[in-house]
A and B are shown apart, each in its own frame.
Chain A
């Protein structure tokens, strides 16, 4: 790829990330709440995977059960608000449906569930499940000769769960190069900063010790994310992990500097201001 096409691709993905942030803010405003801090933080990561035409995932937006699709497993069910916005970006769900987020009878519940939403592969929420399921999918796809890949987005808080490491060992033991974990290191979990709740660092060394090819990047830097995925593709001999350092509330300066909270409070009058404050939003 030439530098120009990479820049163009990165630019298009960054624009999609901004649209994902705007969608998430709209959804949060409709509900008056939501895991908006996490959604803003992870928007660039999701855009890298879901941007139509440029995303990493091989998908057929109107055929979410296509057998050849790459599987993207959202362990962290409360991040669903961001994934819904990304699925709208990919064309799997209509953008106008986003405003039903969290409402009764909606296909977009507050915590992601596979049976509700096209494109939602698993029901996350009980943390430490995604990587085990990803391991089985990786084993099964390889057994069937299906070249589809499996991605599991988990959070740094989820690294507290022992089952995550059971699955990490199993993926490495079975040499599942078709499995990639993506760890959103936002440094925050329900009871406060990860450093105080349960120290997870050194995250990269842990995954490496478990037999994974680990790449750590700034998760709010689209070109860095793309370069990380390139590096992972160049190592097809083991499962890989893309460790993404992200900033809660990223893209909305007054939310990014707000005191960090797992469930970030946003006042009624602030939603509109947040949308207008979105960096890089020229639409």
Chain B
């Protein structure tokens, strides 16, 4: 019998999608929230038995009397977050995206969004950022939440986005949902002339052949893909869309005019996320252009190691480059 072949395995620890040589920041959300709370006494935090796994533990340890542990009870957590906001506090409530959206949606919708409360729901493991399979992979959270009135939705790219988004979300008077990247989070956008602005897309890179319209961690992949494509004489632009709702339609329409190949990039099922939001905006504006969606398939995804899964489902930089070349042929 031959020796077993060593394969990549699902990480039992907090998996990072950072490349081996990439700069990262640890727990940028928790640190940003703790810093904000130093200045603003009305900031409070809640978690549903996942403080340690949503970087909320940093806030908890810095401000223990302003952290409320709600137990493994996401409905109670979102209801309580609404109650805290009703009496003048500004809560950030963290759990995994799957639980905030699938399990506790009625509470997010009716207790938080309908009364337009300043409650900030923070969902970890958005899209495909864990190898644990469908129970943990929130591949359709944007599809669920985009249809919810009043809700602002942010899908940050990296630690820079997260650090700048946290105070912006607290300042925003209404409810928000943040797709959290946790643990060692790549630091990418400080190399660009960029500041996070709620509701605004940002052009990170110009290019004549392709325009990536990307959100979340896929902006990092789009930037990497653009670098590589350059070597093959493909000139790619990147428009980063960190706010999914309200969508910066003007910036998107501006980007799709002309004859560049339009590729949307998102860490989410192709149904109901960025690609369909862009497609709708483009069609409603009467612009006839093809849109290539780089997104997860309409499937329940496999378990496995993140690099394996990102390759298989088209989110890796390699897969994105291959997709662009195929579409350009």
Contact = CB atoms under 8 A, between A and B. Distances in A.
A129 interface: yes
Contacts of B207: none
Contacts of B114: 115, 123
B73 interface: yes
A139 B93 CA distance: 14
A143 B44 contact: yes
A136 interface: yes
B86 A136 contact: yes
B113 to A, nearest CB: 11
Interface stretch (A36-44, A92-100, A165-173, A262-270): A165-173
B313 interface: no
Interface residues of B, number: 28
B89 interface: yes
Interface on chain B toward A: helix, strand, loop, or mixed SS?
helix
Nearest first, the 10 closest Cβ-Cβ pairs linking A and B are A136-B83, A132-B79, A136-B80, A166-B76, A166-B73, A140-B87, A137-B83, A163-B75, A140-B84, A133-B83
Interface string B65-87: 11010110101101111111111
A126 B104 CA distance: 13
A154 to B, nearest CB: 13
Contact of B106 (A126, A169, A174): A126
Nearest to A162: B75
A137 B71 contact: no
A139 B84 contact: yes
Interface string A235-270: 000000000000000000000000000000000000
B70 A140 contact: no
A132 B111 contact: yes
A31 interface: no
Contacts of B107: 129, 132, 163
Interface on chain A toward B: helix, strand, loop, or mixed SS?
helix
A132 B83 contact: yes
Contact of A129 (B44, B66, B81, B110): B110
Interface of B: 44, 65-66, 68, 70-71, 73, 75-76, 78-89, 91, 106-107, 110-111, 114-115
Contacts of B106: 126, 129
B56 to A, nearest CB: 16
A163 B76 contact: yes
A169 B89 contact: no
Interface residues on A, range: 20 to 34
B71 A143 contact: no
A133 B111 CA distance: 8
Contacts of B84: 136-137, 139-140
B40 to A, nearest CB: 14
Contacts of A169: 71, 73, 76
A27 interface: no
Contacts of A143: 44, 65-66, 89
A174 B73 CA distance: 14
Interface string A122-152: 1100101101111111111101101000100
Given A140-B84, A144-B89, 20 more contacts: A121-B86, A122-B115, A126-B110, A128-B75, A129-B107, A129-B111, A132-B76, A132-B82, A133-B79, A133-B82, A133-B111, A136-B80, A136-B83, A136-B86, A137-B86, A139-B84, A140-B88, A143-B89, A146-B87, A163-B76
